[in-house]
Structure 1
Amino acid sequence: MEIGIMSGNRTRGPAFAALSVLAVLAALAALCLGVLRPGSTGPAHAGPASAPGWSVDIREVAPVADPPPAPGASTGSWTEDCGRNEGHHRNADNVVISPGISMGAHHTHDYVGNLSTDAFSTDDSLAAAGTTCTGGDRSTFFWPVLRVPGGEGGGGDAHGAAAADGNTGTVLDPASVSIGFSGNPTGQVVPMPRFLRLVTGDAQAATDGGAHARAEWGCEGFPGRLSLRYTRCPVGHRLTTTLDFPSCWDGLRTDSADHRSHAVFPVAGGSCPPGTFPVPHLRVVVAYAVPPGTPVALDSFPEQRHDPSTGHALFIDVMSDSRMAEVVACINDGRHCRAGRTVPTGRP
């Protein structure tokens, strides 16, 4: 008896059946590859541990050095202690990208610095609020929370939106948050304007081509080794995400329609593009104590499926003009300062 496959009113024989089975198997193979490939728009992965390609051993990441300073470079630094969000200031808002829209981020952010930041914050409300920064800086710094996936709870999302958008599991409290401003390797820096908005990274990098992706995953004790993928760290070394912000300002605006064109990143070698001016380079490093082998998932938009390349962060400068002037003087003089305390460098 011949077994065929029906198509309309025609019956196709064994050869066609074999080809059809092969086609189905090929489609399934392609689907599986899509699940495992970072940036895939296919089905969600079950966490980095079950998705090879979404994580990498830090010892396999090649180190990259910062460009050496040129004569006349601004080689100083300014650091401040704003805590590690011990008060669990979290919400699913984004006052920079979606002002006035409650839960507009569709994923939860961790905050340090300004105590009042939410979707409805204004320059005036931020300037009047308290801060977690010991030096009195009222600036706001925020980024998506990191979770151990599993369970149904929102894990600290005060707005209750995280679980509905696919962000579930236990939120990992940062083990430490380091905030520092540094100079430009080719020249002096100028002050940031108060209320300057800065964005780093791309929350939609998994689906928009990733042109603005700047996620930098790493491990403590492995300087210069940064990856777009989650990094697996040896025992005793904490997982880190390094958040480097643009430091070339157009000299005019505190924000722009795309939230990027008013402040851009330096070109190769560290110089700023024509028509822009170097401002203090903000770097935030967040460390997490993650036991080896534990899967992690960055909060994200639902369609981004926790892709590690979607790491991003935002900043609003609420420093007083006088404090910003101190920061710039410290950096341009080659000193190393910490929230009002100066560490001499030996320079005259």
Structure 2
Amino acid sequence: MPKTRTRVLSAVLLLAALLAVPATAEADPLVTHHEFQANCTITHTASDDPIVHPGHPGMSHNHTFMGNRTTNGSSTTESLLAGTTSCKVPADKSAYWVPTLTNGATPILSTWHQTLYYKSGILDYGAVQPFPLGIRFVVGSPTTTIDQFRTAPGAVEGWECGESFHNWDFPTWCPAGTQLNIRYQAPSCWDGVHLDSTDHKSHMAYPVNGACTASHPVPVPMLEYKIAFPTDGNMSAVQLASGRGFSWHYDFFNAWEPATQAALVDHCINGGLQCDARGFDLYKPDRGAALNEDYELP
């Protein structure tokens, strides 16, 4: 076949393929991301943990809470659904919390929206399903050793500030004008049965070779808390309420309005997009958004 005819045929086939792609939750030919964000501000701090110490306010080390404004030691799925939220999406009434970071005795609290990613943790991102209502779990452990923290499946780059990263405990110094950051990824395979477990972890598992296993067959979003703390300079007095830097961990209690979470999972994760909290991909504006300008279902 002549080269000119071959080029024309290839162009026709490419055009036909592009026209055949639906405008909703289908992935583009080149997919680099499959995620959306939950952007939530800090609501309060308290020595509560409704997952580890349910019904026992004040029993936990101090936590910094984001999302649901009513979260306390006695929170349930029903109470969270009846509450309000600091997240951009009104339908996200989930509770997110981390151990409080202090410099000496002073809590280090941000005033901006923190970034909580919902991503695909498996290779087959089109198979990811929304979190079931009421699921809750703990990611990481306050009792881990520094080596366990460094080699944990959820570890990303440790504590970061400026150009310093892979710090598995707090760095000794952060340049002026920088902030202390941490990212940590959650397991993204659910056993399909239990919303919680005795250790608050066993009903969840990390994928193996990019896929969920028979014991935890349901792929759900992979949470990645990317938390930034407004502190710089000497880090010698910086500590977590749970201990040193390698005691980092976090909690999640799902109270999304189901249809809204499902729309974001479908459009952004299954659709292979890099979405903001509205479900809009700045780099692929032609794909539209899952939510309207009020961050609600259209």
Q: TM-score range by the shorter chain?
A: 0.7 to 0.9
2:223 alignment partner, SS class: strand
Distance (Å, rounded) in 2 between the aligned partners of 1:240 and 1:222: 11
Q: Indicate whether 1:338 and 2:276 are aligned.
A: yes
Q: Indicate whether 1:194 and 2:152 are aligned.
A: no
Distance (Å, rounded) in 2 between the aligned partners of 1:289 and 1:138: 25
Question: Which ranges in structure 2 are unaligned for 5 or more consecutive residues?
Answer: 1-28, 288-298
1:324 alignment partner, SS class: helix
Counterpart of 2:37 (choices 51, 57, 79) is 79
- Greater relative contact order, per chain length (Cα 8 Å cut-off, separation 6+): 2
Whether the 8 Å contact between 1:73 and 1:185 is mirrored in structure 2 is no
Counterpart of 2:193 (choices 252, 274, 280) is 252
2:263 alignment partner, SS class: helix
2:116 alignment partner, SS class: strand
Equivalent position of 1:271 in the other structure: 211
Equivalent position of 1:126 in the other structure: 80
1:240 alignment partner, SS class: strand
Mark the structure with the bigger radius of gyration. Answer: 1
> Counterpart amino acid of 2:124?
G
Q: Indicate whether 1:290 and 2:227 are aligned.
A: no
Alpha-carbon distance, 1:236 to partner: 3.1
Whether the 8 Å contact between 1:145 and 1:172 is mirrored in structure 2 is yes
**Identity across matched positions, percent:** 28
Cα distance, 1:247–1:222 mapped onto 2, change above 3 Å: farther
Whether the 8 Å contact between 2:154 and 2:187 is mirrored in structure 1 is no
Alpha-carbon distance, 1:129 to partner: 0.3
Whether the 8 Å contact between 2:118 and 2:223 is mirrored in structure 1 is yes
Q: Indicate whether 1:299 and 2:253 are aligned.
A: no
Structure-1-length-normalised TM-score: 0.64
Equivalent position of 1:170 in the other structure: 106
> Counterpart amino acid of 2:49?
N
Q: Deviations over 1:196-251 (max 9, x none)?
A: 112111112259x779796663225559x433211343333211122322111111
1:90-105 equivalence runs, <5 A: 90-105=45-60
Whether the 8 Å contact between 2:69 and 2:84 is mirrored in structure 1 is yes
Q: Indicate whether 1:315 and 2:252 are aligned.
A: yes
Distance (Å, rounded) in 1 between the aligned partners of 2:263 and 2:162: 31
RMSD of the TM alignment (CA)?
Answer: 2.8
Higher mean C-alpha displacement, 327-336 vs 130-139: 327-336
Aligned length: 248
Structure-2-length-normalised TM-score: 0.74
> Counterpart amino acid of 1:148?
N
Whether the 8 Å contact between 1:75 and 1:185 is mirrored in structure 2 is no
Q: Deviations over 1:248-287 (max 9, x none)?
A: 11111111111111111223x4332333222111111111
Q: Deviations over 1:107-137 (max 9, x none)?
A: 2100010011111111111110011012111
1:198 alignment partner, SS class: strand
Equivalent position of 1:109 in the other structure: 63
Distance (Å, rounded) in 2 between the aligned partners of 1:265 and 1:222: 29
